[in-house]
Structure 1
Amino acid sequence: MADINWKEIVKDYKEDFIEDLFTLLKIDSTRDDNAATDEYPVGPGPVKALDAFLDIGKRDGFSTENFDNWAGHIEFGEGEEILGVLGHVDVVPAGTGWDTDPFEPVIKDEKIYARGSSDDKGPTMAAYYAMKIIKDLDLPVSKKIRVIIGTDEESGWGCMDHYLNVAETPDFGFSPDAYFPIINGEKGNTSVQMKFQGNNGEQAKLISFQAGLRANMVPQDAEAIVEVDNPAELTEQFNEFLEDAPVSGEAKLEGNKVTITLIGKAAHGSTPEHGVNAATYLATFLNNFSFDKDAKAFLNVAEKYLHENHDGKKLGIDYEDELMGHLSSNFGIFNFKTDEGGEILANMRYPQGTDEETILSQFKETLKDEVVEAVLTSGGKAPHYVPTDDPLVETLLDVYGRQTGLEAHEMVIGGGTYGRLLDRGVAFGAMFPDSVDTMHQANEFMAIDDLMRAMSIYAEAIYELISK
């Protein structure tokens, strides 16, 4: 509102905000299926982070509720309509390549380095503090606001499936888990699992091949163990390969076996072109040797159809829509063990005009002579769009434009956010056009100034949305 200087007000909250954010960042809230129980649906880490966030809400006098350790919310205001702010406290695996402990947050050059600092603990905490400011100022509101906290955004969204089954669905809302000015359109999201048998030939054997942490991450690390007649020659050629490839690695010999490791660059699966896929580079090198049968098929698919195939064209699944842009493809999980078999998991972000069944059908047609089976995995999501003339979109863009002086325009992304769970749901920040995006990467960070700017925008936008 014109008579409230939100930018000045948020300055008084900076120290407390950072302290509370550090409390969350110190918790390793990676999903752990091996430790999952009825009490901890996705493992204890995400639940610990959820409880810590809810405790902060209780401390500040808000109403809170935990929904079976899947999700929770912190509530303020009164009225029939509900504004939902949907964030999450789970994080992708830390991976390798960090200069600091990913769960011991540090501030360097006014940036907070930690897993989850930008995706999504930092932005969600900024949105929470925006609500806290409105409460502290005792401003009149005519609607409820709920900061809804999920624990499974990076995997299957089971947290929000559960929450929306047992709690009231917000009438409208946003997710602080993407970019400004606004994300009012999101591509569809689907994954295809390619399956292989585990047979090898005689001249060269692929004992194992492993890469990737999640389908929605570009694999930074890859490792293969091979058995060949001339391991020294393979090692020499590998070192030559490294001279011209944008990767690093090493080869270790043990008799006729060679263990090869490769390091690329991680990136978010919705923007695979920003990463360097260690798995497909490793397969490209190995496919020069005399592998046979299923091992050959595994390597051949990775090199011929997946390597540097960010738009899916090599698979025949490429598609482009005027509003939502082009399909993107990420190949995030690679596993092969001799005699046991293998799999490759591909994740596609697709625009309106195509669908997951069409994508699967083309996978099968293109790879019919290579893979044993190709199937869709669960959890696919259709494209989502909220028009620019919706009052929610208009209000958010107006506040962003007034506070930043920058152009406020609509955007469509390949990433999936909780915003798409609501018919009138969007993603709103917290990354600015000039922010450095390190989501899902080693040395993830978020600039403190960006978080404070986002907090100010969130405070004004939330107040306008719940005071009308």
Structure 2
Amino acid sequence: MTQNIDWKAEAAKRKDAYLEDLFDLLRIDSVRDDENATDEAPLGPGPKEALEAFLALGERDGFLTKNVDNWAGHIEYGDGDELMGILAHVDVVPTGTGWETDPFEPVIKDGRLYARGSSDDKGPGMAAYYALKMIKDLGLPVSKKVRFIIGTDEESEWKGIKHYLETEPEPDFGFSPDAAFPIINGEKGNATVFIETKGAVDGGSEELVLFEAGLRANMVPQEAVAVVKSKNPAALQAGLADFLDGLPVSGVAAVDGDQVTLEMTGKAAHGSKPASGVNAATYLARYLSDFDFSKDAKAFLEMTMLYLHDDPEGEKLGIAVTDAIMGELTSNPGVFSFKANEGGKITVNMRYPQGTTEEGLFETFRTKLSDYDVTLTKANGKEPHYVPANDPLVTTLLDVYHRQTGLEAHEMVIGGGTYGRLMERGVAFGAMFPDSIDTMHQANEFMAIDDLMKSMAIYAEAIYELIK
């Protein structure tokens, strides 16, 4: 146990400087932008700018830094045979709708910092960086090397960090400040299945011209829109109010000639916690599925209604499974698109525990949807990850957490995926506390300033305990 250092007081001394640096980082729109990607900005200009801004802080503060081809980078401190990694990310998910403030102009209200990335993951990442800086400022003796590693597309395919690990060594141990306290020493597997339908419009009194919903596979769709060409548009419009009565979604329908545009609004949430959100897409499909559409549109809507609607644990698909340590599988139908004469596509993202496999899930989809004329493909996923509770990394981090908070310290498993899983002995550690309000991937994302400062103090002591 480290003596004679008041970590909370040291964090408090750095609050103003921390917030100033964090505000600069939050002002950068670092959503991955493939349309504007270049050789110099492989994930788009925003992630590159945010990476460079963070590395510039490291240079300013006297650390060694390295930019790995604008895919990722690191800030290095100390020396020794063992390498500790602290893995954070500067990319953010798209903003979506429903914000009360500019998502890229940070605002503090009632002790909360509002901005996209305030909790996921710029706020916690900056707290961990300042914790490392604190150790350097205090001149504390260390026996290991630390690399604060900065990723640029954690919210999508992890291409940046994978490229980084092709040229740089995997840390021997470490953590990612990108989840919750007390600790996340287990992460479920991550599998994504794509369901594609054809788009022929022959037959049926209704024609599904367009159906769009969802921003990312790891977000619950908050908004959904459909355009329908109808022989009786008034009926399609009139039935919506009765359908919505008592449901947790809102919606409107507008008629223009023989076309009806329907818009539905639910609630966004992290894709690993679909039960926390309200999926506007599946509710819209449920409403439309009662009408007379052509075969392909009918398949798109019917599959959604029968197998994906209101089913966060995959019971209807037959993929539900629960593990004693990792808990239950979760299923999030996150992205929907259908265009007449082109076809439809549904993206389903699942977080699964030990005891099942990505291939097994895919085969269950194939069997369950065999009556439909669909094409199924899958993305490269991630296997479940678990570091035993008695590992010294886990026990050290839990000891520090309990010492600083007085709260119960215990292992936890999540459905979300963090960079912690990239290390064999890697975990996620904070920055959400048990009483924090989780707004990751939602409109009006925020993080309490007090939580960020408490995290900085915990990170500083934890890092020092692991590298002294």
Is the Cα contact below 8 Å between 1:77 and 1:143 reproduced in 2? yes
Distance across 2 between alignment mates of 1:69 and 1:113 = 27
| Alignment match, 1:409 | 410
Shift of 1:292: 2.5
The code of the aligned residue for 1:215 comes to A
Which string of whole-angstrom CA distances, capped at 9 and with x for unpartnered residues, describes residues 345-381 of structure 1? Answer: 0000000110010000000100011241111113x00
Aligned residues: 466
Shift of 1:32: 0.6
Mean Cα displacement is larger for which, 195-204 or 184-193?
195-204
- 1:87-126 matches, within 5 Å, as 87-126=88-127
Shift of 1:244: 2.1
Mean Cα displacement is larger for which, 2-11 or 355-364?
2-11
The code of the aligned residue for 1:250 comes to V
Shift of 1:325: 0.8
SS for the counterpart of 1:124 is: helix
Distance across 1 between alignment mates of 2:322 and 2:467 = 37
| Alignment match, 1:240 | 242
- 1:224-239 matches, within 5 Å, as 224-239=226-241
Overall identity of the aligned pairs, in %: 65
| Alignment match, 2:379 | 377
Is the Cα contact below 8 Å between 1:194 and 1:371 reproduced in 2? no
SS for the counterpart of 2:261 is: strand
Q: Report the TM-score when normalising by structure 1.
A: 0.99
- 1:65-464 matches, within 5 Å, as 65-200=66-201, 201-378=203-380, 380-464=381-465
Shift of 1:250: 1.2
Distance across 2 between alignment mates of 1:167 and 1:363 = 38
SS for the counterpart of 2:245 is: helix
Shift of 1:240: 1.9
What root-mean-square deviation, in Å, do the aligned CA atoms of Structure 1 and Structure 2 show? 0.7
Shift of 1:391: 0.7
Distance across 2 between alignment mates of 1:160 and 1:371 = 37
Shift of 1:229: 1.3
SS for the counterpart of 1:141 is: coil
Shift of 1:2: 2.6
Any stretches of 5+ residues in structure 1 without a counterpart? none
Shift of 1:78: 1.0
The code of the aligned residue for 1:335 comes to S
Which string of whole-angstrom CA distances, capped at 9 and with x for unpartnered residues, describes residues 320-355 of structure 1? Answer: 111111110000000000100010000000001100
Distance across 2 between alignment mates of 1:176 and 1:165 = 22
SS for the counterpart of 1:260 is: strand
| Alignment match, 1:15 | 16
Distance across 2 between alignment mates of 1:23 and 1:50 = 12
Distance across 1 between alignment mates of 2:453 and 2:265 = 35
SS for the counterpart of 1:195 is: strand
Shift of 1:202: 3.1
Distance across 2 between alignment mates of 1:150 and 1:223 = 33
Q: Report the TM-score when normalising by structure 2.
A: 0.99
| Alignment match, 2:47 | 46
The code of the aligned residue for 1:382 comes to E
Any stretches of 5+ residues in structure 2 without a counterpart? none
Which string of whole-angstrom CA distances, capped at 9 and with x for unpartnered residues, describes residues 281-336 of structure 1? Answer: 00000011111300000000111100011001100111111111111000000000
Distance across 2 between alignment mates of 1:424 and 1:377 = 25
Runs of 4+ in 1 over 3 A off after TM superposition: none
